């Protein structure tokens, strides 16, 4: 019994050792297998994280460049608007200064020195729509023809008489007739460089009709600015003789 028990004990120990070796071997194999399977996954995960981080940096950089571009474009647009505003203000100021330099009179008599020496060289009338002071294409064409004839002359003045039809308040029509005369003067002055002091503007409102206000055609004729070119023939003659 004692010998058998010893054999059994040694056999048990051997079996236990074999089992332990098998367990350790199996455990190592399992860990090696797990590591061999996990390594590619971890590498892929790391690469994906790196790409994600790189993509994020690229997105941030692109957004920053886009924001910078938008800011520059906005700044350029604001600068352009400021220049346009300044230019518009300068143009308005220049126009206002030119209009301030026009001679505004009720009549040339007593205003123009040696008026008897001036003779009417040309007479043009332009008409306006109801309650309007804007020049039409036909008006501008007529004024262009007039301007081409006076540019060669030096000793002249322009008498602009603005009128209205009989519709509306008298004071309103006086102001409207002046606006119409202003439109003609500004067109000739700005396009052909005629000095503002050569203009004599007369606003007569509805006081002097040139046609009956009882008809539509008559009222249209009264909504006008009559432009007269008055040349000082005496000064023209003296200038011509001096040049001989």
Residues 16 and 112 in one domain: no
Tell if the pTM clears 0.75, that is, is over it: no
- Examine the domain organization and report whether 41 and 88 are in the same domain: yes
For residue 14, pLDDT beyond 60: no
Residue 147: closest CA among 227, 206, 29: 227
- What percentage of the chain carries pLDDT values higher than 90? 44
Question: Across the chain, what does the average pLDDT equal?
Answer: 79
- Does residue 55 register a pLDDT over 60? yes
Instruction: Please tell me whether residues 114 and 228 are part of one structural domain.
Output: yes
Structural domain span for residue 63: 1-101
Do 96 and 108 lie in one domain? The reply is no
Does one domain contain both 113 and 221?
yes
Q: Are residues 27 and 120 in the same domain?
A: no
Q: Within this chain, do residues 136 and 237 fall inside the same structural domain, yes or no?
A: yes
- Shared domain check, 135 and 81: no
Q: Which two tokens stand for residue 129?
A: 């729509």
Q: What is the model's pLDDT at position 3?
A: 52
Question: With 70 as the cut, is the pLDDT of residue 30 above it?
Answer: no
Question: What are the tens digits of pLDDT across the range 78-90?
Answer: 766 666 555 455 4
Q: How many domains does the chain have?
A: 2
pLDDT digits (tens, 9 = 90+) for 138-166: 999 999 999 988 877 888 999 999 999 99
Closest CA to 157 of 210, 121, 106, 192: 121
């Amino acid at each position: 019994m004692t010998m058998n028990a010893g054999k059994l004990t040694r056999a048990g120990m051997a079996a236990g050792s074999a089992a332990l070796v098998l367990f350790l071997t199996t455990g190592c194999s399992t860990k090696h297998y797990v590591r061999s399977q996990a390594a590619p996954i971890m590498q892929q995960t790391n690469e994906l994280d790196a790409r994600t981080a790189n993509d994020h940096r690229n997105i941030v950089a692109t957004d920053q460049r886009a924001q910078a571009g938008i800011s520059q474009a906005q700044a350029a647009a604001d600068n352009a608007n400021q220049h346009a505003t300044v230019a518009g203000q300068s143009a308005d100021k220049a126009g206002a200064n030119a209009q301030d330099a026009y001679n505004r009179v009720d009549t040339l008599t007593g205003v123009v020195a040696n008026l008897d020496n001036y003779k009417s060289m040309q007479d043009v009338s332009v008409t306006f729509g109801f309650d309007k002071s804007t020049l039409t294409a036909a008006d501008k064409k007529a004024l262009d023809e007039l301007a081409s004839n006076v540019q060669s002359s030096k000793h002249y003045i322009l008498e602009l008489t603005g009128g209205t039809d009989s519709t509306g308040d008298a004071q309103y029509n006086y102001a409207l007739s002046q606006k119409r005369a202003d439109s003609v003067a500004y067109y000739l002055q700005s396009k052909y460089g005629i000095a503002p002091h050569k203009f004599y503007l007369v606003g007569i409102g509805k006081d002097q009709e040139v046609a009956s206000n009882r008809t539509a055609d008559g009222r249209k004729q009264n909504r006008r600015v009559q432009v007269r070119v008055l040349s000082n023939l005496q000064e023209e003659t003296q200038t011509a003789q001096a040049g001989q």
